[in-house]
Structure 1
Amino acid sequence: MTASRPRGSGHRTTVAASVVTLVLCCAYALSDGVVRGSVSLASTVLPAVAVVVALRVRRLTAPLPWVVELGGLLCLVVVSVTWLVQVNIQGAPRSTGIVPLLFLPLGYLGFLIASVLVILPIARRDGGKIVDAGIGALAGAGLLWTFVVLPVLDERDATLQERTFTLLSLLLLCGVTGALARAIASAERARPTLAFLLVAALMSVVGHVSKVLTADPATGTAASWVGVLWITSYVAMGAALLHPTSEHLSDPGRVQSARLSVAHLLFLWAALSINPAVAIIGKLVGRTPDIVLQSTVALLIAPLIIARVWRIAQLYESARVDLVRQATHDALTGLPNRRAVATHLETIVRSVDSGTLSAARLFFLDLDGFKSINDVHGHTAGDHVLVEVARRLRGAVRRDDFVARMGGDEFLILIPEDCPELAAHTVTRIRDALADPVAVAGTTVIVEVSVGSVPVTRADGESVERLLSLADAQMYIDKRSGHPAS
C-alpha cells in the first residue's frame, strides 16, 4: 500500500498538468485581446502557485532549486502583467520598457539555474556523461543558430539586443535540455520530475526558434500559436515540483561508468569541432564567420571541459585511494593488514634508530580457541567475532596507537613509546576490552587472548622480521603459561 500511493499521486499530477495545459492552450488559441492576455498571465501564475504549495507539502532535502525557479516564475508573472496592460488593454503593438527587458531574461535565468542545481547531485556519480550531453547540445544549438535562426535575423535586420538575447537563450536552453535528457537516464527514482523539466526546456527552445521564424517584421510579434509553446513550458515547470518524485532529486542516482570509449571520444571531438569547421568552410566560400557565436560557444564550453577533466581526475584519484586501501587494509575488519604493518613498523624502527623516536613497544595478539568458534557456530559467527574484537581493540588504545590484523585470529598493536608500566597497563586494557561475552548465533562466547610484547629501542637495531618473530614467540610463551599476568 505504501509503495502504490506515490505512483497514484504521480499519475494524478501528470493527468492534472495535462488537463491544465490543454485548457489553457485551447483558451489561448480561441481568444484574443484581454482574454488572451489573461490566459497568458494565468499560465505563469498557476505554476508559481503550484511551486509555493509544493514547497510546503513536499519533504525536500534541497529546496534551493525550486526557490530559484519560483523567483524565475514570478519574474515571468511580472512580464505577463506588463504585456496584458500594454498590449491587450492599452493596445500597444508590443510590450516595451525596462520591465520586459529586465524581467524576461531573469525569468529564463531562474529556470536555467534551477535546472542546473537539480542536475548537479545526479551528475556527481554520472561519470561525466551529463557534461558530455551538455557539450553535444551546445554544439547542436550552434548549428541551429547558424543555419536556421541567424539568416532570419539578418534578413529582417534584427537589433543587437534581440540577437544577443536569442543567441544566449538558445545556447543555454539547449545545453540544459541535453543535460536533463542525460540526467533522466541516471536518476531512476526522479525521472517523472526530470521529464517535466525536460519538457519545459524543450518547449522553451522550440518557442524561441518559432518566435524568430514567425515574427512580424514590422512589430516583431510572433504568430499567435507560439504562445501555446510557452504555456506548455510554464505548466511543466510547476508540475515538476508537484510530482512526488521531486523528493528523490537529491538522490545521487545510479553509478555510471566513467570509461571513455572510442565512440564517445569521437562524439566529443565532433561536438567540439563542428562549429569551428562550419565557420572555416563559411570563410572559404566568402561568408563572414559569426565571431559572436564562436566566442559565446567557447565561453560556455570551456567550463564544461574543465568540469569534465576535473571529474576524470577526481575519479582517478578516488580509484587510486581505493586500490591503496584495498592493498593495505583488511577487508573484513577495516584494520590495516600485514602489508601495512611491515611499512608502519619499518618507519617506527627507522625513527627509533635515528633518534627521532625514543622507543616503542610491539604487542602480538592471538585469540585463544578461535577455531572452536568457527567449528561450532560457523564461519559467519567467526567473522562477527573478529569484527567485534577489532572494534574493541581500537577502542582500548589511544588515537595515535596502531592496531592491525595480521591474518586469521592474529592482531598487532604498536605503541610509539615504551616503559614497563605502560606495557602492563596496555595488556590489562586489552584483556578488559575483550572480557565481555560476544553475542553470536543466538548465544554468547567468551574471547580470551594471548599477548606477547617486545620493546623497539635504539639499542636493539632489530629488523622488522626479527621484531615480529620475537613478539610472536613471546605470545606463545603467554599462551602456554595460561596468561599468568592476567
Structure 2
Amino acid sequence: MVAAVKPDGRWARLGMPVGFLVLSAVFAGAYLTGPEPVRLVLLLLSGVIAAIAIALGVRINALPDRRPWMLTVLALAMLSIANAAWYLPAAIAGGAQTPPDWMAVPPQMAGYVFFLAASLMIVLRHTPRDASGTIDAAVWGVALATPVWEFLFRPRLLAAGQDTATQLFVLTQLLVLFGICGALLRVARTSGRGQVSLWYLFGALGMTLLGTAAVHMLPAGSGSQGSVPALLFALGYLSLGAAGLHPSAVRLMSPQRCATGGTPKMQLSMFGAAMLLIPVVGAIGQLTGSPPDGLLLTLAPMLTIPLVLIRIGRLNVQRSRDQRALAHQAAHDELTGLINRRELFTLMERAIERHADGRGGDLALLYCDLNEFKPINDRYGHEAGDAVLRATARRIAGAVREGDVVARIGGDEFLIFCPDADSDTAYALGSRIVRALAEPISWRGETLRVSTALGTTVWTQRETVAPDVLLAAADTRMYENKRTQTNRSVYCSDEASSPTLRTSRM
C-alpha cells in the first residue's frame, strides 16, 4: 500500500521541486548533446513519466476530483502518439521526414482538446466563487493572444508559405492556450496554498507556447528546429506530471476562498477593452501592409462571443439576485427572518380590503411582548438575547395556522395576523403561543426562561380600518394583561409563568 504524502511535509516543500529540476536538467543535457534517436526516446519517455506521476498523485493525494487529471493522462497519450509520428520517421531515416497529416494532426488535436477540457474542469471548480472574474480573465487571455499572433507568428507563417489549415491550427493553439492561462491566473487568486501545483500547470502551458513558437520561428533546416521544440514539449510534459503529483493539487481541487474583484464599472470597462483589442490588432496589421487577417477576425470572436454571452447572462442573474436580496431585506427582520412591520401592514391592508368587500371571515391581530427578556440581555449579553428572539420566532411560527402571518416589529415585540379567525380561534391560538414560549431555552449550557404577555383584537365589521388602529387595540389589551395577570391556568399549567389573554371584539 502506498503511504499518503503529507501536504506540508519536507518532501512536498523541498524534495519535489529539487527532483523536478534535476530531472529537467538531465533531459536538457541529453537533448543538447545526444543524437536524434536519444532525443526521440526522451521525448516519448517524458510523456510516460508525466502520465505515471499524475496517476500516482491521484492515488497518493486522494484528489477530490480525478477527472481533470485522467483527461490530462489521455492528453499526454495523444500528444505522445503525435510526437512519435513527427519524430520517428526522422530518427529512422536519419533526416527530416514529414509524416502524413492523418498520422500526426488528429492525435495532436485530440491531445489539446483533452488538455483544454482538463483545464476547464479545474477552472470550473473555482468559477462558482468567482465566475465573472474568471470569464473576464479568459477573454483577456484570448485578446492578448491576438497581437502575439498578428505580429510574431503570422508574418513567419506567411513568409514560409504555410497554408490556411496550418495557420488555423497555430492560431487556435495560441487563442486556446492564452485563454487557459488567463483563466488559471484568476484561479491563482482563489487557490490559496494550492498554488504550487498551479504554477507547475503554468510551466506546462509556457513550455507548450515556447515549443510552438520554436517550431515556427527557428530557421528551417537548422538542427535546432527539431530538437529545441521537442525539448520544450518534454519539459512541459514533466511539469504536467509534477502538477498532478505535488500534494498541493488537493487544495487546487478544493478552493477555499473567493477572489475579490473590482467595482462593476471597472470590470465592465476592462471587459470591453479586451473585446476591442481583437479588431484593433487586426486593423493595425492590415494598415501596416499585411493582408487582411480573416482567420483572426473570425476565430477570435467565435471563442469570445460565447464567453460574452455567459458574462451578460451572469450579470442579469446577479442583478436579479441582488434585487431579490434587497427586496427581502426591506421586508424582513434580519435576526429572525420574520417579516417586518412595514411588510405586515401591507399584507394587513390587502386583507382588510378583502374583508370590507365581504370576502373571508373576521380578522384577528395578536400582540406578543416577552417578559424577563431584559434581565437575560443584562446578565448573559446580547448573544443570549438574540438566541431567545430567534427561538421565540421559531416557536410562534410553529404554533400558528397555515396562512397566519408572524412579524417582529422591534425589540421583543411580535405580531401575529390571522385572517379568517373569530374570537375563539384567536383565543386558542394565543393559548398555544403562550404555552410554546413558556418552554425553557438552552443556550451554551444555560437554561433561559421567558414568559409572554398577549393582547388580541378581532375585527368583525365589514368596513376599512387602518392597521395602526388594530395594532393600538391589541397593544392596549396586552398591557392590560400585564397589569392584571388573571386566569393564568387557562393558558398554561405553570401559573408562575403564564400571562392572561384578553380578547376585544371591534
Residue of 15, 33, 42 corresponding to 2:45 = 42
Give the 3 Å change call, closer, same or farther, for CA 315–22 of structure 1 in structure 2: farther
SS at 1:185 equivalent: coil
1:274 match: 277
Partner of 1:30: 33
1:55-134 alignment runs, 5 A limit? 55-83=58-86, 85-89=88-92, 93-126=97-130, 128-134=132-138
Summarize the alignment of residues 216-231 of structure 1 with structure 2, pairs less than 5 Å apart.
Answer: 216=220, 222-231=225-234
CA 417–200 in structure 1, closer or farther in 2 if over 3 Å, else same: farther
Which of 375, 382, 385 does residue 388 from structure 2 map onto? 385
1:394 aligns with 2:397: yes
Q: Aligned partners of 1:475, 1:396: CA distance in 2, in Å?
A: 19
SS at match of 1:332: coil
Give yes or no for the alignment of 1:160 onto 2:164: yes
- Give the C-alpha shift of residue 9 in structure 1: 4.9
Is the 8 Å Cα contact of residues 366 and 456 (structure 2) preserved in structure 1?
A: yes
* Cα displacement (A) at 1:174: 0.9
SS at match of 2:453: strand
> How far apart are the structure 1 equivalents of 2:202 and 2:7?
24
CA apart distance, 1:151: 1.2
Match of 1:202 in 2: 206
Q: Counterpart in 2 of 1:479?
A: 482
Larger radius of gyration: 2
The AA in structure 1 aligned to 2:307 is: L
User: How far does the alpha carbon of each residue in 1:20-40 deviate from its partner, in whole angstroms, 9 at most, with x for none?
Assistant: 333333333332333322211
Q: CA RMSD in A?
A: 3.0
The whole-number CA distance in structure 1 between the counterparts of 2:8 and 2:68 is: 22
Contact 1:47 1:239 in 2 (8 A): yes
Q: Is the 8 A contact 1:335 1:404 kept in 2?
A: yes
Q: In structure 1, what is the equivalent of residue 496 of structure 2?
A: none
1:466 counterpart = 2:463: no
- Do the aligned partners of 1:359 and 1:457 also contact (CA within 8 Å) in 2? yes
SS in 2 for 1:145: helix
Residues in 1 aligned to 2:486 and 2:172: alpha-carbon distance in whole angstroms: 79
Distance 2:256 2:461 in 1: 52
Q: Residues 309 and 7 from structure 1, CA distance in 2 versus in 1: closer, same or farther, beyond 3 angstroms?
A: farther
State yes or no: 1:294 paired with 2:297: yes
SS at match of 2:438: coil
Letter in 1 for 2:416: I
Q: In 2, are the aligned partners of 1:358 and 1:458 still within 8 Å (CA)?
A: no
Task: Report if the CA contact (8 A) 1:366-1:409 is conserved.
Answer: yes
CA shift for structure 1 position 419: 4.3
The share of aligned pairs that are identical, in percent, is 31
The 5 Å alignment of 1:435-450 reads 435-440=438-443, 442-450=445-453
Change (3 A) 1:468 1:150: same
* Distance change (3 Å), C-alpha of 1:286 and 1:241: closer
1:426 to 426, 429, 445: 429
In structure 2, the gaps of 5 or more residues are 1-5, 492-506
Indicate whether 1:178 and 2:182 are aligned. yes
Indicate the residue corresponding to 1:6 in structure 2. Answer: 8
Q: Alignment partner of 1:453: what SS?
A: strand
Question: For the residues of structure 2 that align with 1:311 and 1:408, how far apart are their CA atoms?
Answer: 39
Partner in structure 2 of residue 193 of structure 1:
197
- Distance change in 2, residues 1:445/1:130 (3 Å): closer
Question: Where do 1:351-370 residues align within 5 Å?
Answer: 351-354=354-357, 357-370=360-373
Post-superposition offset of 1:226: 1.7
Per-residue CA distance 1:455-484 (angstroms, 9 max, x = gap):
455725322212222222232333334262
Q: Quote the residue 1:405 is aligned against.
A: 408
One-letter amino acid matched to 1:229: L
What is the aligned length? 482
The answer to whether the Cα contact below 8 Å between 1:454 and 1:467 also exists between their aligned partners in 2 is: yes
Alignment check: 8 A CA contact 2:189 2:259 kept? no
Alignment CA distance shift 1:483-1:325 (3 Å): farther
Query: Residue by residue, what CA displacement relative to the aligned partner does 1:305-324 show, whole Å, maximum 9, x if unpaired?
Result: 22332333333333333333
Kept after mapping to 2: 8 A contact 1:127/1:256: no
Q: State the SS of the aligned residue for 1:304.
A: helix
Partner of 1:320: 323
Gaps of 5+ in 1: none
Given the superposition, is the C-alpha separation of residues 114 and 303 from structure 1 closer, same or farther in structure 2, using an over 3 Å criterion? Answer: same
Closer, same or farther: CA 306–390 of 1 in aligned 2, 3 Å:
same
The 3 A distance-change label for structure 1 pair 198 and 422 is farther
How far apart in 2 are the matches of 1:435 and 1:208? Answer: 76
SS across alignment from 2:415: strand
Tell which deviates more after alignment, 170-179 or 113-122: 113-122
- Aligned partners of 1:442, 1:217: CA distance in 2, in Å? 82
Q: Is the 8 A contact 1:193 1:245 kept in 2?
A: yes
1:148 to 149, 152, 156: 152
Partner of 2:389, secondary structure, is helix
1:352, 1:456 within 8 Å by CA — same for their partners in 2?
no
| Counterpart secondary structure, 2:471 | helix
Q: Which of 321, 327, 332 matches 1:329?
A: 332
Q: What is the CA–CA distance in structure 1 between the aligned matches of 2:425 and 2:62, rounded to whole Å?
A: 54
- What is the aligned partner in structure 1 of residue 308 from structure 2? 305
For residues 352-372 of structure 1, the C-alpha deviation after alignment (integer angstroms, 9 at most, x for no partner) is: 345565455332211112122
Corresponding residue for 2:237? 234
Evaluate the alpha carbon distance shift between residue 59 and residue 318 of structure 1 in structure 2; reply closer, same or farther with a 3 A threshold. Answer: farther
Deviations 1:228-282 (A, max 9, x none): 22122212222223222222333263241341456x6664444333342343344
Q: 1:39 to 1:401 in 2, by over 3 A?
A: farther
Cα pair 1:127 1:258 within 8 Å, conserved: no
SS at match of 1:225: helix
Equivalent pair of 2:192/2:255 in contact (CA under 8 Å): no
104-113 or 329-338, which moves further after superposition? 329-338
